[in-house]
Amino acid sequence: MSEMSLSEINTSGLAARLLPIMIAVFVAFLVIGLALSVLPLHVHTGLGLGGFAVGTVAGGQFAASLVSRIWAGHFADTRGGKQAVVWGLISASVAGVVYLVSIEFESTPLIAAAILVAGRAVLGGAESFIITGAVGWGLVLGGHANTGKVIAWIGTAMYAAFAVGAPVGVTLFDRFGFVSVALATTVVPFVTLAVVLPMKGVATQRKEGGSVKTVIGAIWMPGLGLAMASLGFGAMMTFASLLFSERGWNPVWLGVTVFAVSFIVARVFCGHLTAN
């Protein structure tokens, strides 16, 4: 649990230093991937609610992730990336507990959906802390010269989790119902803590950061571009499994997994372009 000073960090063995962080990101985002294809099916077929409810439940995570990003960034900057990842994992497990509570209200679909929205909100906050902490942690370890590689590799771990989580989640859902996904969401983050807690953190640099207004002024253009590019991602991740199910295309998780794999390929072969 001791902190590692910046002077102890060198650029050799970057992949080896990042691997435990990538494993933590992979396992943590696996619980998000488990529900990507399952939640729309559960809300639509299990609870009998329409597309608006599906979008609200799925979108709750993305909205909470957006709202909590600045808080997560400040926490990671002041407390360190490792602490942000740890608290994110704990929050992700809490989201699984909320999922379990929603099952008790399935006879009242609107209440069950409202509880699911709350669970998704908690998971969105957890996502912010995990990915922000992991990227910040990795960037300090990798150094400025490896910024593109660090972001690409950690992003690869995240989307690999989506690619694997989609088929695993649908399989669990088909065999054991939504309760199995809720249990996995509760348990898996705690397993990941066993990987993260023994790792050395990196000492934070104690210096005054820019104001929120200054930061937004510096990044609003690329941020807007990323937001526009992500609109299709959100729509596809939310409704792809419903479309496949409605048209009888099997497996229903294929759209999500193909998208995630394509994202990984782009990261692996084009991640270096950010340095040019």
Distance between CA atoms of residues 154 and 151, nearest Å: 5
How sure is the predictor about 54, in pLDDT bands with cuts at 50, 70 and 90?
Answer: confident
In order, the DSSP letters of the chain are --EE-GGG--STTHHHHHHHHHHHHHHHHHHHHHHHTHHHHIIIIIS---HHHHHHHHHHHHHHHHHHHHHHHHHHHHH-HHHHHHHHHHHHHHHHHHHHHHHTTTTSHHHHHHHHHHHHHHHHHHHHHHHHHHHHHHHHHH-GGGHHHHHHHHHHHHHHHHHHHHHHHHHHHHHH-HHHHHHHHHHHHHHHHHHHTTS-EEPPP--PPPPHHHHHHHHHHHHHHHHHHHHHHHHHHHHHHHHHHHTT-SSTTHHHHHHHHHHHHHHHHHGGGGG-
How sure is the predictor about 45, in pLDDT bands with cuts at 50, 70 and 90?
Answer: confident
Distance between CA atoms of residues 8 and 88, nearest Å: 26
Task: Tell me the CATH number at 114.
Answer: 1.20.1250.20
Asked if residue 17 is part of any domain, the answer here is no
Asked if residue 270 is part of any domain, the answer here is yes
Q: What is the percent of the chain with per-residue pLDDT over 90, rounded to a whole number? A: 27
| Total count of domains within the chain | 1
What pLDDT shows up at residue 247? Answer: 84
Q: Is the pLDDT of residue 10 over 50?
A: no
Distance between CA atoms of residues 116 and 220, nearest Å: 32
Q: Is the pLDDT of residue 266 over 50?
A: yes
Distance between CA atoms of residues 251 and 43, nearest Å: 19
Q: pLDDT for 96-129, tens place per residue? A: 999 999 999 999 999 999 999 999 999 999 999 9
Asked if residue 104 is part of any domain, the answer here is yes
What pLDDT shows up at residue 31? Answer: 85
Domain that holds residue 238: 24-202+212-275
Asked if residue 14 is part of any domain, the answer here is no
Asked if residue 2 is part of any domain, the answer here is no
Q: pLDDT for 168-208, tens place per residue? A: 998 999 999 999 999 999 999 988 888 888 887 776 655 55
What pLDDT shows up at residue 116? Answer: 95
Q: Is the pLDDT of residue 92 over 70?
A: yes
How sure is the predictor about 209, in pLDDT bands with cuts at 50, 70 and 90?
Answer: low
**pLDDT, averaged across the chain:** 82
How sure is the predictor about 243, in pLDDT bands with cuts at 50, 70 and 90?
Answer: confident
What pLDDT shows up at residue 207? Answer: 55
Number of Cβ within 10 Å of residue 40's Cβ equals 25
Asked if residue 5 is part of any domain, the answer here is no
Better pLDDT: 220 or 244: 244
The amino acid at 243? L
Asked if residue 251 is part of any domain, the answer here is yes
Asked if residue 259 is part of any domain, the answer here is yes
